[in-house]
Structure 1
């Protein structure tokens, strides 16, 4: 399982397209939001709100987009069918993917956190501790959605849908901009999205934003329902 996790992580980090989504795009989000006066909370340092959005972007890119694409190709190439016949088994395969995702996320946090330090971020221990449960919950929620897409759609559709959904969630789903900045009719919709809930919780942890129990419940609901949906509908083969 450990060897499989290391292989999954190396595969992800050696893929130029997925590396761009995992590191380059979140870094551009961090720099852009740090320099542009958008998405900042009143009284908060711009680098804090920028990092909140950046870490949420990084989490979604790895847990959702990269997970969906890599699993979709494994399914098309018959890897998932073959895994079931090996000592690793399906449970070992999934456990390895989870460990690989966490490993890549650690690298993301180190790289993006280092960049944020250069841009003026000054971390506090309590803030970082508060992020951990939110990060785990977000990983479960978006990882489940990524696996669900990979297990239901054909590979070509997985590639298109996962990238499109990623861009929409980051740009207009409550990650880059707080839901409070949206028109009233859209605000309610964004509040119900996992991206909106994750963005609000990240801003509460890192930028001194208001903590919303509703956002926590929304993210928990997406995590639980997503996991149940994967158990019910994930297909290990195209047939």
Structure 2
């Protein structure tokens, strides 16, 4: 036997095993963190309440509360798009702002930012996690709406998806701006207060045209009303509202720029 011969009982090298034992790719790290973030949001009782249970309760209440005017048309067809908009606000804004604020307070953001995941990877993971949670919400609320008799305009689904993406971007950027600047207790209070305010007067589940006239001018400029109006136009009438898309885009761009400028990774 020569000096460089391989013994008969030696374990052969497995190239695929060697590859698997190496460092994970950037996309794999982002997806792993996204799974963790999404699971954390869905396991948290308070976040689950805001993300799923309260929107479901709002939907059932709106369908049966005849005293609340939703506009012309079947109540369930008008209510479901508004509640879908509320779901986006619940997960992309309220839930994400609170989790970001407390992660920053406990030093989680600072630690993750210096890992191989990196700060950009962490932001991407949060975005993927939010979209995953919203997808779960859409399935739950869509199924509940169908059980209540919802009949969406199928030709408006592409426009609704565009509105959902724009709304998610706008509210996620606002969440990072809020969660990355205020202290955790302040984030908790402001995020929950804004959720209630937008639900009542933000043009989300009740269109701005159904609110008192003194609120109409302001409500029309809010991303919440733009999202709610876009989804109602798409899923009730199959129409596109370019003006509402523009409002959400402006909010998203401004909030993104401000978040990049003022976001703090630790208290």
Equivalence map 1:183-202=2 (5 Å): 183-202=212-231
Which of 32, 47, 51 is the matching residue for 2:80? 51
Q: Take 2:235 and 2:65, find their aligned partners in 1: how far apart are those partners?
A: 18
The aligned residue for residue 107 of structure 1 is 136
Q: Give the conservation status (yes or no) of the 8 Å contact 1:39–1:178.
A: no
The aligned residue for residue 181 of structure 1 is 210
Q: Take 1:16 and 1:78, find their aligned partners in 2: how far apart are those partners?
A: 22
- In structure 2, runs of 5+ residues without a counterpart are 1-29
Give the TM-score normalised by the residue count of structure 2: 0.85
Q: 2:233 aligned with 1:204, yes or no? A: yes
Q: Deviations over 1:72-122 (max 9, x none)?
A: 111001011111221001011111111111111111011111111110112
More helix by share: 1
Give the TM-score normalised by the residue count of structure 1: 0.95
Equivalence map 1:212-223=2 (5 Å): 212-223=241-252
Q: Give the conservation status (yes or no) of the 8 Å contact 2:93–2:175.
A: yes
The aligned residue for residue 160 of structure 2 is 131
Cα displacement (A) at 1:196: 1.3
Equivalence map 1:30-109=2 (5 Å): 30-37=59-66, 38-42=68-72, 44-109=73-138
- Three-state SS of the structure 2 residue aligned to 1:207 is helix
Q: 2:46 aligned with 1:23, yes or no? A: no
The aligned residue for residue 4 of structure 1 is 33
Question: RMSD in angstroms over aligned alpha carbons?
Answer: 1.4
Cα displacement (A) at 1:40: 2.5
Cα displacement (A) at 1:170: 1.1
Q: Take 1:62 and 1:212, find their aligned partners in 2: how far apart are those partners?
A: 23
Distance change in 2, residues 1:235/1:188 (3 Å): same
From the CA coordinates, give the structure whose radius of gyration is larger: 2
- Three-state SS of the structure 2 residue aligned to 1:122 is coil
Give the total of aligned pairs.
Answer: 237
Distance change in 2, residues 1:179/1:124 (3 Å): closer
Cα displacement (A) at 1:203: 1.0
Cα displacement (A) at 1:218: 1.3
Q: 2:248 aligned with 1:226, yes or no? A: no
Q: Deviations over 1:138-175 (max 9, x none)?
A: 00100011110001100000000000001101111111
Cα displacement (A) at 1:214: 2.7
Cα displacement (A) at 1:216: 2.2
Distance change in 2, residues 1:200/1:237 (3 Å): same
Cα displacement (A) at 1:209: 8.2
